[in-house]
Amino acid sequence: MALSVKERDRLKVLHEVEQGHLKQRQGAEQLGMSERGFRKLLKRFRANSDGAVVHALRGRRSNRRLKEETAQRAVEAVRRQYPDFGPTLAAEYLAKDLQINLSRETLRQLLIREGCWKVKPRQIREVHVWRPRRSCWGEMVQWDTSVHAWLEDRGPAKMYLIALIDDATSRLFARFVPADSTEHHMRVLWAYVERYGRPQAVYTDRASLFQPTLAPGWKGAEPGPKTETQMGRAFRELGIEWIAAQSPQAKGRIERSFGTLQDRLVKGLRLAGAKTLEDANRYLEQEFLPDWDERFAVKADNAVDVHRPLGAVLKLESTLSWVEQRQVTNDYTVAWEAQRWQIPKEAVRPGLRRSMIRIEARLDGSLRARIDDQFVVLSICKKAEKQSEPAKRPARRYVPPPGQSRWMDQFSVKGNEAWKAYRQQGGAVSAPLRSPSGLPPRG
């Protein structure tokens, strides 16, 4: 039976405990279990080997599962007779009137599933207290970005430093990037995972890179395209827990490190003569970060490295890309950025038309589709160019000659001749001339 990423991570902790690298208490903390529950899991591991992390009911129908007919009867009764009842009151009336005995929580979950009851967001008062460091390297990494004039007046006026500092050891990993974007954060994560492995958790702020701005109704929904960002999806697929800080003080270790970096790193770049982003990254990786680990890194309570390898299942080039769902049209094309992209003929499968497939815009610039666990390169559909048409001359406006337009009657040639005659006669004519506006003539 194939193991999921979460089960493989649990299996690694069990192996570390079995080999004596971790204590049972530490293993229970990493898996979020009680010590008693971890001892039971360890006992099953010793008896059943790797199969101990697989739930015994996987693939089997639970004997205690609620019958679908009973669930439908309860939901229909609530819709018909108790539409404005809460789950608690509705459960009481179902048991009294219809002899349908359901607990309040079971009925509540049924009503939420059918859209008859909306979950009210909880108001939790946050209390920040001091906490100790994590016990192992790789348990949690604090992640943040600092924008600063790192090269002073020698290069770009603004560069971004993406930094990841380990909570247990204060080891630092950082890269200079030109923009604080999803693409550059993915590139930094790629470099970190390739060097050290997957950390168990990352601790970031609540920036839009990591958490979208959601309406109240979406905040309690399951992770999906509308409730998580591309970075959040990448964390989920890599099996990395994302922890959001409620305040800058909550991730004080990375915040304080930026104060040190804006002093020491700026001066180091000045002495190294760095003038470009590439020069800054070269000095940062080859000289500054090794000096930082030697000067500021501390020993963890436990020397075990809990970074997890990628394995054969996870692919960084697939996970660390811009992923969206697209519908396949009848001619086996998909829309992406106002253009049509063609699926190769050899990748066409029965039932592919009108289905939703995963599209990945990868960091190398290619566009790929995932079809039946296979990645297919898409090609753009070029449109035929239109033949150039001869430029049309603008239509000339017809202007009638003087004296033929009604609104210019008072300014016609006859009017000018009459005016000349009036001037020659000394201003006396048989009838007084009037201007078009009705005012007395000039002169």
Task: Decide if 356 contacts 325 (C-beta within 8 A).
Answer: yes
Residue 433, pLDDT > 50, answer no
Task: Decide if 5 contacts 314 (C-beta within 8 A).
Answer: yes
pLDDT-derived band of residue 225, with 50, 70 and 90 as boundaries? low
C-alpha 404, offset from chain centre: 71
pLDDT-derived band of residue 429, with 50, 70 and 90 as boundaries? very low
Alpha carbons 347 and 376: distance in angstroms, whole number:
7
Beta bridge partners, 371, equal 374
Instruction: Give the pLDDT confidence score for residue 277 in this predicted structure.
Output: 94
In eight-state DSSP terms, residue 182 is: H
pLDDT, tens digit (0-9, with 9 covering 90-100), for 19-44 = 888 899 998 999 888 999 999 988 88
pLDDT, tens digit (0-9, with 9 covering 90-100), for 318-357 = 999 999 999 999 989 999 988 899 999 888 888 899 999 9
Instruction: Give the pLDDT confidence score for residue 1 in this predicted structure.
Output: 60
Instruction: Give the pLDDT confidence score for residue 443 in this predicted structure.
Output: 46
**Distance between the two ends of the chain, CA-based, in angstroms?**
110
Q: Which SS3 state, helix, strand or coil, does residue 121 take?
A: coil
pLDDT-derived band of residue 258, with 50, 70 and 90 as boundaries? very high
Instruction: Give the pLDDT confidence score for residue 439 in this predicted structure.
Output: 47
Alpha carbons 151 and 147: distance in angstroms, whole number:
11
Burial 141-171 (b: 16+ CB within 10 A, else e): bbbbbbeeebbeeebeeebbbbbbbbbbbbb
Beta bridge partners, 231, equal none
Size of the chain, expressed as the number of residues it contains? 443
Residue 377, pLDDT > 80, answer yes
pLDDT, tens digit (0-9, with 9 covering 90-100), for 168-192 = 999 999 999 999 999 999 999 999 9
Q: What is the pTM of this model?
A: 0.61
Considering Cα of 107, then 109, then 112, then 113, what sign does the dihedral take? negative
Q: Which SS3 state, helix, strand or coil, does residue 196 take?
A: coil
